[in-house]
Copies of this chain bind each other. A is one copy, B any other.
Amino acid sequence: MNYNQLFEQIRNKRSFLCTGLDSELEKLPKHLLKLKSPVFEFNKQIIDATARYSVAYKPNLAFYESLGIEGWQALEDTVGYIRSKYPEIFIIADAKRGDIGNTSKLYAKTFFESMDFDAVTVAPYMGEDSVTPFLTYTDKWVILLALTSNKGADDFQYYTENNTRLFEHVLKKSQDWADKNAMMYVVGATRAEMLTDIRKIVPDHFLLVPGVGAQGGSLQEVAKYGMNEKCGLLVNSSRAIIFADDTENFAEIAAVKAKEVQQEMEELLKDKGII
């Protein structure tokens, strides 16, 4: 999917919601556990209930890998299901990978060929040759970690050389590798006040913003400081939507929660004159 197609989907759905499929087995509604593939069944129902409000889905690999082979099967089935039933949707592998060149190349093959993800999150620590193998695919994206939503972000991401913090250096340096048509950045919603500084460096890029919902970030603030003329935001919510209810009504309640977020996003898009 390319930049304009993503923007058009945002306008059509009046939403910039990315629903995080952090489908941890132990948190699933109990009635699903007797099924053969509880995680895939859960995802399918969540997706059917929330696809009209979501422009992107983001399974985090940890929740699938922890189940071994069954988890990988559920992941492959989930991506295939979205791709076939909702082809307009942007699918993100939240994998935070990054390794030496010949190894990153294999990770890219995993996510972009073996599975048909649109994007993969990548950790920047190992630098250019750990990132560029993901950039050789047309209309596929790297979403590079810049400023993350967790407390530990303080440990290294604010490290400062010549008045430039490491996350700002990551934003600057990585523009040598790809432009806004192939690169996005992770910026945590819990750091919304930093979005002003970040937009000075990457005014046009899309930002993937986790941390709204269970982690406490504010959607209003993210939009205030981070939205650009093409929206430029994918705001992720995981637990607050998918685990809002653990009864047989879980999908219905997830739809209610996703719709609430979508309606708030619709207002923000209107305020900005985008729709």
Q: A65 CA to B96 CA in the complex, in Å?
A: 14
Interface pair A106/B148, CB less than 8 Å apart: no
Q: Which residues 58-86 in A have Cβ within 8 Å of B in the complex?
A: 60, 62-63, 65-69, 72-73, 76
Of A156-164, A224-232, A251-259, the one with at least 4 CB within 8 A of chain B: A156-164
Of A30-38, A48-56, A127-135, A266-274, the one with at least 4 CB within 8 A of chain B: A127-135
Count of this chain's copies in the oligomeric assembly: 2
Interface pair B96/A123, CB less than 8 Å apart: yes
Q: A107 CA to B61 CA in the complex, in Å?
A: 9
**Chain B contacts for A150, CB-based, 8 A:** 100-101, 126-127, 129-130
Q: Which residues 94-108 in A have Cβ within 8 Å of B in the complex?
A: 94, 96-101, 103-104, 106-107
Q: Which residues 156-194 in A have Cβ within 8 Å of B in the complex?
A: 156-157, 159-161, 166, 169-170, 173
Write the residues of chain A forming the contact surface with B, with a CB cutoff of 8 angstroms. 22, 24, 60, 62-63, 65-69, 72-73, 76, 94, 96-101, 103-104, 106-107, 109-110, 114-115, 123-131, 145, 148-157, 159-161, 166, 169-170, 173, 215
